[in-house]
Structure formats: C-alpha cells, structure tokens
Amino acid sequence: VLNNGHTIQANYDEGSGVMIDDQPYSLLQFHFHAGSETTLGGEQPPLEAHFVHANADGGLAVVDVMVVEGAENPAYASVLNNMPAEMSPVMFIEGETVNAMDMLPEEKTYWRFDGSLTTPPCSEGVKRHVLNNTVEMSAEQIAQFTALFDNFRDVQALKEREFIVVDNGDVEEEVAQAADSDSAEEVVDAVDAEETAETVDGDSTDEGTQDSDADTEDEVAQEEEKAEWGYEGDKAPEFWGKLASN
C-alpha cells in the first residue's frame, strides 16, 4: 500500500487478471477516487475504486467499481485501515491480504468503452469497464478515504465513443455511437470514468530556476491544460498542485 500524493494505491501480486478480446491483462494495482468519476442517473456516488490491468504490450484496461454508503465492507478493510496519511513509499502490511474478486459486486455486468487516463497526461486508448452494480462501504469507511483525498475528475462528454453493455462477458447490445454528450445521456448517465495506471509522469521544476516570464507562461499553460483535462472547480488548484509535483 502507498500514498502517491494523489490517491491511495494497493499493488497486487502477480498471477491475477482478466481476458479482454482474447488477450490476457494482468491486475497491477487498485486505487480510489473521491467522489466517483462515474455518475448514475445524474447522481455521483461518494467513492470509486479502479482496478488497473495491463497486457504484454503495455495496453491498459481498467475495471471501475462505484461505492455507495451502506454496510461495512470487510473486503476493503485491510487497505482502508492501513492507509498512509502522507506521501509514502510502498508499505508491506504484515498479516493483511486482499482478494480483488471479493471487492466486486456479485453481479458483474458492465458498460464498456474506449476511454483515457483521468490524471495527466490523460492518454487515450484505455479500455474502460464500468460495473453497473455498486458495492457498499460504511460511512466510516468512506470517511477514512475522503479525509485524505478529494481527487475525482469531472464527468466528460462521451463524444464519438462507442458505448457497449456487456452481460457477464457477452456483448448484449451496442448502446450508442454518440455524436455528442446529449445523445449519450439519453442512453446512460455513466460517462467517461477514465483513469490512470501509474504515477503521473509530469515535469517537475526547481524553485528559483525560472524567471517571472517563464512562471507566467507555465501558469497560463497549466490553466489551459486543467480546462482541457476536466480539472475545474473548487478542488482543482490543490489537486493540480499534487499532480504537477509528481
């Protein structure tokens, strides 16, 4: 388990994964966003877990699990009870284990689309699998994470992405070839919950090495990138600072 400055991440042992389009994808890690980066019926759940996978060629696939308030969830307890409050290296928690299958809803139908990372550089080409059934955590468990982070990316327009409903691994129906977000919203309100697989590969700068003109240019570029990537609102400046420093 580690705190990488913009989320709590749990690295997963080798040997687990999924088959997507006849290719094996290995589970690398899972982490959390507060609130959810997916909305259901216009409502934003308080938390979302992302299970990040990669194939042998480096292609990424993410399984997104929305979390709602309810009963305590023992499957997540070993991570939530051992979260570093500050940025940290990987910490090995003796005697604690997790099972990713126990962290998923019993019914595993999902929406699938080709999306992107949700933290800079927000690269495209990520296979998104958003489970359309939620899991529960207690209010206390949710508060354990939200006390540390407010790190969601705002919902993005579907644009021309193909949106597919999948029932237990079988494609049931091609839902939409949407030209804009309005037509997508008529189909389903879970749009573009895109995620990152690794620590942000941003450029860091040393204080005092740039003149005021360069600083101004950096600030302008940063504001433009924030708007482009969907990081806007009250939480943006603090969250952006964490991302930019990594």
Q: For 153-177, what is each residue's pLDDT tens digit?
A: 988 887 777 878 876 544 443 333 3
Query: Which residues are tagged catalytic?
Result: 6
The answer, yes or no, to whether residue 121 has pLDDT greater than 70, is yes
* CB 18, CB 53: distance < 8 Å: yes
The answer, yes or no, to whether residue 101 has pLDDT greater than 90, is yes
Report for 87-96, 179-188, 190-199: range of highest mean pLDDT: 87-96
Q: What is the pLDDT of residue 130?
A: 93
The answer, yes or no, to whether residue 99 has pLDDT greater than 70, is yes
Q: What is the pLDDT of residue 155?
A: 86
For 73, counting Cβ atoms within 10 Å of its Cβ (0-12 exposed, 13-18 middle, 19+ buried), the class is middle
The answer, yes or no, to whether residue 232 has pLDDT greater than 60, is no
How many Å apart are CA 71 and CA 135, to the nearest integer?
A: 9
The answer, yes or no, to whether residue 191 has pLDDT greater than 70, is no
Higher pLDDT, 208 or 105: 105
Average pLDDT value for residue range 40-50: 92
The answer, yes or no, to whether residue 225 has pLDDT greater than 60, is no
The answer, yes or no, to whether residue 19 has pLDDT greater than 80, is yes
The answer, yes or no, to whether residue 113 has pLDDT greater than 80, is yes
The answer, yes or no, to whether residue 118 has pLDDT greater than 70, is yes
Average pLDDT value for residue range 138-148: 97
Average pLDDT value for residue range 168-190: 35
How many Å apart are CA 122 and CA 162, to the nearest integer?
A: 19
Look-up: residue for tokens 């005021």? 212
The answer, yes or no, to whether residue 227 has pLDDT greater than 60, is no
Average pLDDT value for residue range 173-197: 33
Report for 19-28, 114-123, 196-205: range of highest mean pLDDT: 19-28
How many Å apart are CA 159 and CA 182, to the nearest integer?
A: 9
Facing residues of 110 across strands?
A: 131, 166
